[in-house]
Amino acid sequence: MTATQNSAPLQIPGRDGYSVHVNDFSLWYGNFQALFNVNINIKQGIITSMIGPSGCGKSTMLRSLNRINERYGNVKTTGSITILGKNILDEDVSVATLRKSVGMVFQRPNPLPISIFDNVLFGLKSHTPSGYHSKRELEDLVEQSLSEVGLWSEVKDQLKRKATELTLEQQQKLCIGRLLPLKPEIILMDEPCSALDAAGIERIEALIGGMRGRFTILMVTHNMAQARRASDECIFMLMGEIIEHTPTLDLFMNPVHEKTAMYIEGRYG
């Protein structure tokens, strides 16, 4: 479906099957407009990928969903982004609470230079009072989180080791795992495999696929083969606009828009 067809009235996620509604959203960095009247509806519990040429606005759109763009300063927006029934751009929204519900995994793994154990619990401890969880509860959370990302058997005897000493693949798994104690509804991934080798990419893709149904995942990727393998729906962006948003197989096999066809056939971008 095209951007125009994809627009819909805002509704509360859970009642209409969507986690995110983006309506007529535009964004400027200073005088430069990066996004133009974006309309997206992201279904709950599936993996949606965003593709398009470098500089087309994919990462800007992704980072708008937890307002991380605001860190760069001089950002202006119009329109609305509704997540969990609330416009996250409203003045009364707590950014800290938003980022608890909408986690982020970056292109380059970014573990903190502290122990593996403390990395997993860092976000949780930031959002809960000291002493809120017992030592046993924290230990169980670490084991559960690391097990869910396939890392527990590799590091269970090294939990005091600095996380920055892990391999890049292990670091990325850890970065995904440390989101889990916060029980996010949505996980944003900005090219999560780009720093990995082929084997690492395959394992991280398998990990992401295993999270389908429990989380809503929105992933930016420059790799069209990865988008085709790993996602249920796909969004094609060009020059700050949504050109097409449809089931992934349809986008690659039967694109509606000529610009989409040109991109996936390698005629530009």
Q: What is the dihedral of CA 251, 255, 256, 260, to 10 degrees?
A: 90
**pLDDT above 90 for 32:** yes
Average pLDDT over residues 180-186: 95
Between these two residues, 58 and 266, which has the higher pLDDT value?
58
In tens, the pLDDT along 13-26 reads 445 799 999 999 99
What number of other Cβ atoms are within 10 A of residue 74's Cβ?
Answer: 10
Q: Looking at residue 10, what is its pLDDT?
A: 34
CATH of the domain at 221: 3.40.50.300
Give the number of other CB atoms < 10 A from CB of residue 157: 8
CA–chain centroid gap for 205, Å, is 13
**Amino acid 129: pLDDT:** 75
Task: Please report whether residue 269 resides in a domain.
Answer: no
Query: Interior CA angle at 227 toward 223 and 231, to 5°?
Result: 160
Decide if 259 is inside a domain: yes
**pLDDT for residue 141:** 96
Residue 60 structure tokens: 């800007």
Look at residue 133 in the predicted model and tell me its pLDDT. 80
Domain limits for position 185: 3-264
Over 60: is that where the pLDDT of 8 sits? no
Say what the pLDDT of residue 215 is.
Answer: 96
Q: Is residue 229 part of a domain?
A: yes
198-210 vs 168-177: helix crossing angle, rounded to 10: 10
Instruction: Give the model's pLDDT for residue 57.
Output: 96
pLDDT at 7: 33
Residue 166 — very low, low, confident or very high, per pLDDT cuts 50/70/90? very high
164 found inside a domain: yes
Report the pLDDT averaged over residues 199-227: 95
> 72 pLDDT band (50/70/90 cuts)?
confident
Per-residue pLDDT reduced to its tens digit, 184-205: 999 999 999 988 999 999 999 9
pLDDT band at 128 (very low <50, low <70, confident <90, very high): confident
Residue 11 pLDDT > 70, yes or no?
A: no
Residue 192 inside a domain? The answer is: yes
147/172 Cα distance (integer angstroms): 14
Establish if 29 belongs to a structural domain. Answer: yes
| Confidence at residue 15, expressed as pLDDT on a 0 to 100 scale | 54
Q: What pLDDT score was predicted for residue 2? A: 35
The answer to whether residue 170 scores a pLDDT higher than 70 is yes
Can you spell out the DSSP letters for 11-41? --TTTSSEEEEEEEEEEEETTEEEEEEEEEE
Residue 12 has pLDDT above 60, yes or no: no
CA 243/CA 258 separation, integer angstroms: 9
Res. 5: pLDDT tops 70: no
Whether 35 is in a domain gets the answer: yes
DSSP states of 201-218 as a string?
HHHHHHHHHHTBTTBEEE
Q: How many domains does the chain have?
A: 1
Q: Is the confidence at residue 3, as pLDDT, over 80? A: no
Q: What is the spatial distance between Cα 69 and Cα 59, in angstroms, rounded to a whole number?
A: 9
Which of 29, 43, 35, 40 has the alpha carbon at shortest distance from 5? 40
**Average pLDDT for the chain:** 91
**pLDDT-based confidence at residue 9 (cuts at 50, 70, 90):** very low
Exposure class string for 190-227: b at 16+ Cβ within 10 A, else e: bbbbebbeeebbebbbebbeebeeebbbbbbbbebebb
